[in-house]
């Protein structure tokens, strides 16, 4: 409950225009703990650096609150260029996209623009032997995202496209079951948005219990799982679970965010687990940065210290 109140307070304050202007005026310097850079070259450079520690990358071009169809398609073009650039650099592209950024919910030529643009992106990723994960956004988008995920898996296969389920939503257990026939590649997260208690569990203990349940169910079903958390207790439990159930290290991976628990990422990679860092980049870093700050009180101090330094 206190977690929720803290998150709400930070997201409310950071949503104020003057706070955004103030933080943006300090430039990218404040965001660089969590964001790899403002362009694709910096993101690919981050992939290379992580490779040195045996950690894989998952590239995310930041671009929330893009709204016109032209902006959404231009954003999709930038993701396509990223795929080209990664491939040219000899990196197997693995990217995450938010369907809202590429036009989900807007109808153009009789079809949802998000799906049209996602098809272009997933198609190109497949051409390069890459992978696209559809991030999960706030709860009103879940139904459409899962329906579009189903369409894309049917067209491109589950080795090319995956999506995300959030353990804080009451509905998620049923969603996992309903996706079963696709043998989906799923990233399991706790959930990052400010959601009402009518749809999301307010207590952290419940969210954590639901998280374990979802990961174990996906593993038992023999489907690939991306265990996306920095929660050490959960990570330890997952390690025990896979040992006890004879699940191979190639059946799942741990995923964490760029700049968070780099020590733990390295340690897991050294222990032979597959580890992937989610690497956000782009000029539009503010909303992503705010969500990371909202996750942990110590991060507010980090921002304040950075601002005092000028």
Smaller CB distance to ligand FAD: residue 107 or 186? 186
12 to 8, 66, 195, 307: CA distances (angstroms): 6, 20, 13, 19
Buried b (16+ CB within 10 A) or exposed e, 290-303: bbbbbbbeebbeeb
**CA–CA dist 307, 35 (Å, integer):** 17
* 192 belongs to an annotated ligand binding site: yes
Cβ-Cβ contacts under 8 Å for 94 (sequence gap 6 or more): 56, 57, 58, 59, 130, 131, 132, 133, 276
Helix (H, G, I), strand (E, B) or coil at 252: strand
**CA–CA dist 82, 88 (Å, integer):** 10
Q: Which of 223, 255, 265, 290 binds ligand FAD (CB under 6 A)?
A: 255
Does position 252 interact with ligand FAD (CB under 6 A)? The reply is no
Does position 14 interact with ligand FAD (CB under 6 A)? The reply is no
Q: Which of 6, 156, 170, 193 binds ligand FAD (CB under 6 A)?
A: 193
> Do the Cβ atoms of 300 and 293 come closer than 8 Å?
yes
Q: Residue with structure tokens 């023999």? A: 222
Active site residue 135: yes
Does position 299 interact with ligand FAD (CB under 6 A)? The reply is yes
Distance of CA 301 to the CA centre of its chain: 24
Number of residues interacting with ligand FAD: please give it, by CB under 6 A: 23
Q: Which of 192, 201, 215, 269 binds ligand FAD (CB under 6 A)?
A: 192
Catalytic annotation, pick one of 60, 112, 119, 135: 135
> Do the Cβ atoms of 184 and 127 come closer than 8 Å?
no
Smaller CB distance to ligand FAD: residue 117 or 255? 255
> Do the Cβ atoms of 226 and 276 come closer than 8 Å?
yes
- DSSP H/E element including 281: strand 275-281
Q: Which of 83, 152, 153, 189 binds ligand FAD (CB under 6 A)?
A: 189
Give the Cα-Cα-Cα angle 241, 247, 253 (nearest 5 degrees): 85
Q: Which of 76, 121, 256, 268 binds ligand FAD (CB under 6 A)?
A: 256
Does position 36 interact with ligand FAD (CB under 6 A)? The reply is no
Helix (H, G, I), strand (E, B) or coil at 223: coil
Active site residue 187: yes
Smaller CB distance to ligand FAD: residue 213 or 230? 230
Q: Which of 76, 228, 269, 275 binds ligand FAD (CB under 6 A)?
A: 228
Distance of CA 170 to the CA centre of its chain: 20
Does position 59 interact with ligand FAD (CB under 6 A)? The reply is no
CB of 218 to ligand FAD, least distance (A): 15
Task: Give the interface segment with ligand FAD, choosing from 13-21, 47-55, 150-158, 290-298 (CB under 6 A).
Answer: 290-298
Catalytic annotation, pick one of 7, 141, 187, 276: 187
* 166 belongs to an annotated ligand binding site: yes
Smaller CB distance to ligand FAD: residue 125 or 188? 188
Smaller CB distance to ligand FAD: residue 66 or 257? 257
* 307 belongs to an annotated ligand binding site: no
**CA–CA dist 278, 256 (Å, integer):** 6
Which parts of this chain interact with ligand FAD (CB under 6 A)? 135-136, 164, 166, 187, 189-193, 228-231, 255-257, 260, 278, 292, 295-296, 299
Residues that constitute the known binding site for FAD: 136, 166, 190-192, 204, 229-230
Active site residues: 135, 187
């Amino acid at each position: 409950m206190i977690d929720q109140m803290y998150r709400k307070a930070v997201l409310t304050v950071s949503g104020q225009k003057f706070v955004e202007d103030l933080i943006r005026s300090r430039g990218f310097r404040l965001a660089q703990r969590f964001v790899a850079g403002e362009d694709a070259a910096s993101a690919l450079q981050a992939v290379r650096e992580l490779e040195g520690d045996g950690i894989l990358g998952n590239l995310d071009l930041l671009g929330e609150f893009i709204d016109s169809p032209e902006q959404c398609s231009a954003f999709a073009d930038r993701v396509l260029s990223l795929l080209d650039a990664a491939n040219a650099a000899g990196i197997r592209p693995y990217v995450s996209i938010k369907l809202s950024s590429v036009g989900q919910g807007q109808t153009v030529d009789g079809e949802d623009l998000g799906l049209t643009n996602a098809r272009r992106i997933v198609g190109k990723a497949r051409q390069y032997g890459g992978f696209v994960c559809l991030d999960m956004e706030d709860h009103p988008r879940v139904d459409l995202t899962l329906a579009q995920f189903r369409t894309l898996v049917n067209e491109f296969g589950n080795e090319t496209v995956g999506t995300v389920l959030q353990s804080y939503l009451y509905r998620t257990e049923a969603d996992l079951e309903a996706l079963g026939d696709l043998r989906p590649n799923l990233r399991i997260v706790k959930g990052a948005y400010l959601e009402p208690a009518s749809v999301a569990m307010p207590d952290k203990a419940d969210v954590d219990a639901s998280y374990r349940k979802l990961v174990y169910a996906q593993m038992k079903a023999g489907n690939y799982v991306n265990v996306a958390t920095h929660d050490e207790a959960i990570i330890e439990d997952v390690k025990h679970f896979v040992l006890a159930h004879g699940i191979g290290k190639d059946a799942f991976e741990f995923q964490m965010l760029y700049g968070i628990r780099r020590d733990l990422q390295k340690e897991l990679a050294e222990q032979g687990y597959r580890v992937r860092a989610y690497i956000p980049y782009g000029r539009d870093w503010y909303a992503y940065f705010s969500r990371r700050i909202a996750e942990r009180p110590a991060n507010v101090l980090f921002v304040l210290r950075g601002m005092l330094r000028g």
